[in-house]
């Protein structure tokens, strides 16, 4: 999701005191059970716990459980947010636990969105002050309780690694021992936060992810692992073409399969209800559906590309302009131009979309992984005709998302509710097959860029024009209200506000329409803009006789020191001396996205006529790195996900409109032998934390393509580089 | 019919062509093996039959016979992890974690057969297990660590 998105449909919380702003206090006097290291489903605070605010529970057994308001999709939210609390509480890392917070926008809104949601790599940055304040308040209340208990001044009390101590008297107590007394004390109006120079956990190495143990032993509970008494498994048959609808259903063969209970027509397709997954999937294969394709997308990819390319050539909606680009091109010594085609991409997260719903006719409970629980909550309640208070959402561990579970239209939540309504009171697990997932749309938008640059006789860039065409992600969604001047920034982000001095430039967009639903896909617009800009720039620099690194540095805007620093750092890491001359060549690229700055160098060789990436050097400035190992992991992951897409991923429509790829045999993500060695350098920074989930991705495609061009002489302008 | 999973015998009544994956998950309540593709392309459902990695979505339950089925739950526990699991924890391999039961089982099978694998053998053995989080560099390192090749 785009970080600038501030949906108009959900008012931002008013600026009250931070504790009031987070929903006030839930003070409790309960006895908590032994907490597990982490849990993906919420548990009720139990007797004896000290619950200073909506984010923290301190149990008598000394465990401190942080309710994490963001979904854990692998990015480390269940580690990063507890770490912020632990730092300000002066807790010991071993006593920290994480639990997914329930859906409750009053308590758990994302400060960047105004509603509860995870996206735009905002999880840690928008939580940085909130969670620290929550931790500091809890610490203050524990100290106050100790001061009262021991009859000593609070100012003389110290806290370290979960031990509250008073040096002069030798008194010591654990958090758990003070929990009951602390729960009775007043909530501080204001609390002082630590000086970052005093941090012992934030920025430290050696922090073990709270979910590392359960995820290495098969104990982490995902949505697919939720089983309820009497639960039926539901499989779906969806239209084979986008925009088609059900005309008629023959369910006789499906109903003859042992274990198949019912077949129901839903707004989104045909649902097969069964006793278990095997029967549901067999029923899915056996049901015969006739489709009404009158409103369907029937164009194939080639035809769509042709249309989008023509539109890119005449794109006229200006997103950014300076100087007179046309005059610059007209007066240039030389004009270079190139067109780029980027395919639809599936997120293809390892866990297909799934959800469990149980209802009794008056209240419903849901277990799923939803990136925007606030709007999913409203959709579920709306479809079921229930008040929102009658609907409970438990956020589960989720087997990847990459944006797929952040659908503004909440189509999956609606389908889940419809499954329950059509089935009647009871429990249902809606489980998409891989085929449903692959062919179900909500892809990274197919995009065409047309770039032109003018050079003077000395090889300087005098004019720069970037025109592109793609579908809007925001159009037709609640985010449409954010489109100013008809522009959807997620369509072209990363092609504007470049770090380079380009005094005569224009960026123009053509909005395309199609029934194929599109969606944010890890790094969103940057997935194609960085590739187009950074590979085109590389060619232009070469034409002008410039080195890829020095040429970029020479053009760098004076107000972009952080871009400059990551580029200089990565050049140093890789021992940059140009693209090279041997069997291994080097390419460089950089991109700022989601508030962070990343530059990468890729080392590429030729393996059977296709690029094989052997090494990647990555320099990142993400502000203060709260958990450096998570930052490194996210850079590695972003590089792998991005490399996967540019090498071998594409969703294509056959003539007539059917999706050609069905499963992981036709849609071919990166496998381990293709993964390069990666070295990550995190630039020291005192700036506030910015995103890491997405920013690792944008530079890898162009870095590899630039190296490949140096090696093969071929500029790859239609992706993927290695079609399946 | 009788099936032995993680050292426990189960008496079950099932369709003979039910994939082992769904027998384990839906009928026996063993949820470690995950569904990812259903066609043996992703490896998320990897379990052992007599110590050898197989894709549980590609094995008919009736074909298991007397073989000992081991899932991630039978390899080790949170309190007493198998050396491969311990390496996974130490190197913080997991991100979303969904594919990791399969990755761990594949790695354990590799080390059963080849206790001291080369880098090429690791790459080859792990090539059938997809990870969309691209935890691959850490998988490589964790296999080496579990094999006692620290720093290799």
Specify the higher pLDDT residue, A373 or A368.
Answer: A368
Give the whole-angstrom CA distance, residue A392 versus residue A377.
Answer: 8
Confirm if A429 and A233 have CB atoms less than 8 A apart.
yes
Residue window 86-145, chain B: list those with CB within 8 Å of chain A. 86, 88-89, 92-101, 104, 123-124, 126-140
A260 & A339 share domain:
no
pLDDT for the residue numbered A374: 85
CA distances from A656 to A289, A343, A435 (A): 18, 17, 19
> 3-class SS at B82?
coil
Q: What is the CATH number of the domain that holds A38?
A: 3.30.365.10
How near does any CA of chain B get to the CA of A644, in Å? 9
Indicate if the alpha-carbon torsion angle A480, A481, A483, A489 is positive or negative.
negative
Compute the Cα dihedral for A153, A158, A164, A168 and give only its sign: negative
Asked if residue A426 and residue A550 are part of one domain, the reply reads no
pLDDT at A133: 92
Task: Tell me, yes or no, whether A312 and A412 share the same domain.
Answer: no
Identify which of A219, A397, A641 has the shortest CB distance to residue B78: A219
Residues A75-107 have pLDDT tens digits of 888 999 999 999 999 999 999 999 988 778 777
A534/A701 Cα distance (integer angstroms): 9
Number of H helices, E strands in chain A: 19, 26
Range A184-189 contact pairs with CB under 8 angstroms and sequence separation of 24 or more: A184/A29, A184/A145, A185/A141, A185/A144, A185/A145, A185/A148, A186/A144, A187/A19, A187/A25, A187/A27, A187/A52, A187/A53, A187/A137, A187/A141, A188/A137, A188/A140, A188/A141, A188/A144, A189/A17
Rounded to the nearest 10 degrees, the angle between the axes of helix A175-184 and helix A128-150 is: 90
Cα angle B101-B102-B106, degrees, rounded to a multiple of 5: 120
Is the residue at A523 inside a domain? yes
CB contact under 8 A, A278 and B71: no
The residue segments making up the domain with residue A370 are: 221-298+353-431
Asked if residue A360 and residue A339 are part of one domain, the reply reads no
Candidates A208, A218, A356, A435: best to mutate against B (most CBs of B within 10 A) is A218
The answer as to whether A376 is a domain residue is yes
- Residues contacting A684, CB < 8 A, separation 6+: none
- B78·A641 Cβ contact <8 A: no
Assess whether A388 and A409 both reside in one domain.
yes
| Cross-chain CB nearest to A640 (options B19, B39, B134) | B134
Minimal CA separation from B113 to chain A, in Å: 20
Tokens, residue B53: 């990695």
* A281 with B72: Cβ contact below 8 A: no
One domain, residues A39 and A127: yes
User: Is A481 within the bounds of a domain?
Assistant: yes
Residues A487 and A523 in one domain: yes
Phi then psi dihedrals of residue A611, to 5 deg:
-70, 135
Residue A612 maps to a domain: yes
Which residues of A are less than 8 Å from B129 in CB distance?
672
Residue of chain B whose alpha carbon sits nearest to that of A231: B26
Please name the member of A214, A277, A671 whose beta carbon is closest to the beta carbon of B78.
A214
Which residues in B lie closer than 8 A to residue A637 (C-beta atoms)?
A: 95, 133-135
Distance between A669 CA and the closest CA of chain B, angstroms: 8
The CA distances from residue A264 to A247, A434, A443, A705, in Å, are: 13, 21, 27, 48
- Using an 8 Å Cβ cutoff, are A637 and B93 in contact? no
Nearest residue, CB atoms, B92 vs list A233, A629, A678: A629
| The overall pTM is greater than 0.80 | yes
The two tokens of residue A360 are 């009794």
Q: What is the pLDDT of residues A381-419, one digit of tens each?
A: 999 999 999 999 999 999 999 999 999 999 999 999 999
Q: What's domain B83-146's superfamily in CATH?
A: [2Fe-2S]-binding domain (1.10.150.120)
**Do A349 and A664 form a contact (C-beta atoms < 8 A)?**
no
Residue A506 lies in a domain: yes
Residue A724's pLDDT band (cuts 50, 70, 90): low
Asked if B70 reaches chain A (Cβ–Cβ under 8 Å), the answer is no
CB contact under 8 A, B136 and A629: no
In-domain check, residue A361: yes
Report the distance separating Cα A368 and Cα A353, nearest Å. 9
Nearest to A160 by CA among A86, A97, A98: A86
3-state secondary structure of A511: strand
Q: Residue B43 pLDDT more than 80?
A: yes
3 state SS of B35: coil
Query: Are both A448 and A503 inside the same structural domain?
Result: yes
Q: ω before A720 within 30° of 0 (cis)?
A: yes
**pLDDT, tens only, A142-201:** 999 999 999 999 999 999 999 999 999 999 999 999 999 998 888 887 899 999 999 999
> Does the pLDDT of residue A582 top 70, yes or no?
yes
pLDDT of residue A14: 28
Q: How many domains does chain A have?
A: 3
Q: Which two tokens stand for residue A589?
A: 């690229």
B107 to chain A nearest CA, in Å? 12
Interval A341-363 mean pLDDT: 98
Closest chain B residue to the Cα of A222, Cα to Cα: B98
**How does residue A723 score in pLDDT terms, banded at 50, 70 and 90?**
low
CB contact under 8 A, A348 and B132: yes
Please list the residues that pair with B55 across neighbouring strands.
Answer: B46
Portion 5-34 of B in contact with A at CB < 8 A: 15, 18-19, 22, 25-27, 29, 31-32, 34
Q: Is the pLDDT of residue B145 over 90?
A: yes
CB contact at 8 A, A77 and A123:
yes
A313 and A406 share a domain?
Answer: no
Mean per-residue pLDDT, A679-692: 96
Q: Is the pLDDT of residue A243 over 60?
A: yes
Structure tokens at A368: 């799923």
Q: What is the pLDDT of residue A10?
A: 30
Are A500 and A623 in the same domain? yes
pLDDT tens digit string along A617-645? 999 999 999 999 999 999 999 999 999 99
| B83 at A interface, C-beta within 8 A | no
Both A274 and A185 in one domain: the answer is no
Per the CB < 8 A criterion, the answer to whether A452 and A465 are in contact is yes
What is B2-75's CATH number? 3.10.20.30
In this structure, the strands spanning A505-512 and A461-471 are parallel
What three-state secondary structure class fits B54?
Answer: strand
Average pLDDT over residues A635-659: 98
**Token representation of residue A715:** 């500029």
Candidates B39, B38, B42, B103; CA nearest to B72 is: B103
Higher pLDDT, A41 or A470: A470
Q: Of the candidates A482, A583, A464, A474, which has an alpha carbon nearest to the alpha carbon of residue A524?
A: A474
Across residues B105-126, what is the average pLDDT? 98
Nearest alpha carbon to residue A234 among A254, A260, A198, A258: A260
Full strand arrangement of the beta sheet holding A50-53: A38-39, A96-100, A64-68, A56-58, A50-53
What's the gap in Å between the CA of B38 and the closest CA on chain A? 8
Mention every residue, 6+ apart, whose C-beta is less than 8 A from residue A240.
A291, A439, A658
Residue of B nearest to A73 (CA): B96
In this structure, what token pair is assigned to residue A330? 């007209």
Please give the Cα distance from A640 to A644 (Å, whole number): 6
A-B contacts (CB, under 8 Å): 185
Cα B41 to Cα A424, A434, A641, B70: the distances in Å are: 36, 11, 18, 20
Same-domain pairing of A214 and A225: no
Q: Where are the domains of chain B?
A: 2-75, 83-146
Contact B78 A76 (CB under 8 A): no
| Pairwise CB contact (< 8 Å): A399 & B97 | yes
User: Tens digit of pLDDT for each residue in A524-580?
Assistant: 999 999 999 999 999 999 999 999 999 999 999 999 999 999 999 999 999 999 999
pLDDT at res. A423: 98
């Amino acid at each position: 999701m785009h970080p600038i998105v501030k949906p108009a449909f959900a008012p931002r919380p008013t600026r009250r005191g931070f504790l009031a702003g987070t929903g006030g206090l839930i003070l409790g006097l309960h006895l908590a059970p032994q907490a597990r290291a982490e849990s993906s489903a919420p548990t009720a605070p139990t007797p004896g716990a000290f619950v200073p605010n909506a984010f923290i529970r301190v149990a008598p057994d000394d465990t401190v459980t942080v309710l994490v308001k963001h979904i854990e999709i692998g990015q480390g939210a269940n580690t990063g947010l507890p770490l912020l609390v632990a730092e300000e509480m002066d807790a010991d890392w071993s006593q920290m636990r994480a639990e997914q917070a329930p859906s409750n926008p009053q308590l758990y809104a994302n400060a960047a969105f105004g509603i509860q949601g995870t996206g735009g790599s905002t999880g840690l940055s928008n939580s940085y002050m909130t969670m620290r304040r929550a931790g500091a308040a809890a610490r203050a209340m524990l100290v106050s309780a100790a001061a009262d208990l021991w009859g000593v001044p609070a100012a003389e009390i110290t806290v370290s690694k979960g031990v509250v101590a008073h040096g002069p008297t030798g008194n010591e107590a654990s958090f758990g021992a003070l929990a009951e007394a602390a729960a009775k004390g007043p909530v501080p109006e204001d609390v002082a936060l630590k000086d970052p120079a005093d941090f012992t956990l934030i920025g430290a190495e050696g922090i073990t992810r709270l979910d590392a143990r359960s995820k290495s032993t098969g104990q982490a509970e995902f949505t697919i692992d939720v089983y309820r008494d009497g639960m039926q498994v539901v499989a779906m048959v969806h239209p084979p073409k986008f925009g088609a609808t059900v005309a008629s259903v023959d369910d006789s063969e499906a109903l003859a399969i042992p274990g198949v209970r019912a077949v129901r027509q839903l707004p989104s397709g045909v649902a097969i209800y069964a006793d278990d997954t095997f029967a549901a999937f067999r029923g899915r294969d056996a049901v015969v559906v006739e489709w009404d394709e009158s409103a369907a997308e029937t164009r194939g990819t080639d035809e769509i590309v042709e249309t989008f390319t023509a539109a890119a050539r005449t794109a006229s909606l200006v997103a950014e302009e300076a100087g007179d680009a046309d005059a610059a091109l007209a007066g240039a010594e030389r004009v270079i131009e190139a067109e780029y085609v980027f395919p639809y991409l599936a997120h293809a997260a390892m866990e297909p979309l799934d959800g469990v719903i149980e209802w009794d006719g008056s209240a419903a409970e849901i277990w799923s992984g939803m990136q925007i629980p606030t709007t999913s909550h409203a959709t579920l309640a709306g479809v079921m005709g229930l008040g929102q208070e009658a609907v409970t959402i438990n956020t589960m561990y989720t087997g990847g998302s990459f944006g797929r579970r952040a659908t503004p239209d909440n189509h999956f939540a609606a389908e889940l509710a419809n499954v329950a309504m059509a089935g009647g009171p009871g429990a249902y697990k809606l489980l998409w097959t891989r085929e449903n997932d692959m062919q179900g749309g909500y892809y990274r938008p197919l995009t065409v860029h047309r770039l032109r640059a003018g050079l003077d006789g000395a090889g300087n860039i005098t004019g720069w024009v970037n025109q592109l065409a793609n579908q809007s992600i925001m159009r037709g969604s609640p985010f449409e209200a954010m489109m100013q001047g008809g522009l959807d920034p997620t369509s072209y982000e990363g092609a504007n506000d470049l770090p380079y001095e380009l005094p005569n430039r224009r960026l123009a967009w053509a909005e395309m329409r199609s029934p194929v639903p599109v969606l944010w896909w890890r790094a969103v617009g940057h997935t194609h803009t960085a590739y187009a800009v950074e590979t085109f720039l590389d060619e232009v620099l070469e034409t002008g006789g410039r080195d890829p690194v020095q040429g970029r540095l020479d053009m760098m805007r004076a107000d972009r020191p952080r871009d400059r620093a990551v580029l200089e750092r990565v050049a140093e890491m890789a021992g940059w001396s140009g693209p090279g001359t041997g069997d291994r060549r080097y390419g460089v690229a950089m991109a700022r996205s989601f508030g962070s700055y990343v530059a990468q160098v890729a080392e590429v060789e030729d393996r059977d006529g296709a690029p094989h990436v052997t090494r990647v050097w990555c320099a990142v400035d993400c502000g203060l790195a709260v958990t450096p190992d998570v930052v490194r992991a996210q850079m590695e992951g972003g590089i792998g996900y991005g490399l996967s897409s540019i090498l071998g991923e594409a969703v294509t429509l056959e003539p007539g409109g059917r999706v050609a790829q069905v499963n992981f045999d036709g849609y071919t993500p990166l496998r381990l032998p293709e993964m390069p060695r990666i070295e990550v350098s995190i630039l020291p920074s005192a700036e506030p934390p910015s995103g890491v989930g997405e920013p690792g991705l944008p530079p890898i495609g162009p870095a590899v393509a630039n190296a490949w061009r140096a090696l093969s002489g071929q500029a790859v302008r239609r992706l993927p580089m290695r079609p399946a | 019919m009788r099936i032995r999973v993680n050292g426990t015998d189960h008496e079950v009544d099932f369709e003979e062509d039910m994939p082992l994956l769904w027998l384990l998950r839906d009928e026996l309540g063993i949820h470690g093996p995950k569904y990812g593709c259903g066609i043996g392309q992703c490896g998320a459902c990897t379990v052992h039959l007599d110590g050898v990695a197989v894709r549980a979505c590609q094995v008919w339950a009736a074909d298991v016979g007397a073989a000992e089925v081991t899932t991630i739950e039978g390899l080790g526990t949170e309190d007493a992890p198998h050396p491969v699991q311990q390496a996974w924890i130490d190197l913080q391999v997991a991100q979303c974690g969904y594919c990791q039961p399969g990755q761990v089982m594949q790695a354990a099978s590799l080390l059963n057969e080849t206790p001291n694998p080369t880098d090429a053998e690791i790459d080859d053995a792990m090539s059938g297990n997809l990870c969309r989080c691209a935890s691959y560099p850490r998988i490589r390192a964790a296999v080496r660590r579990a094999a006692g090749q620290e720093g290799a």
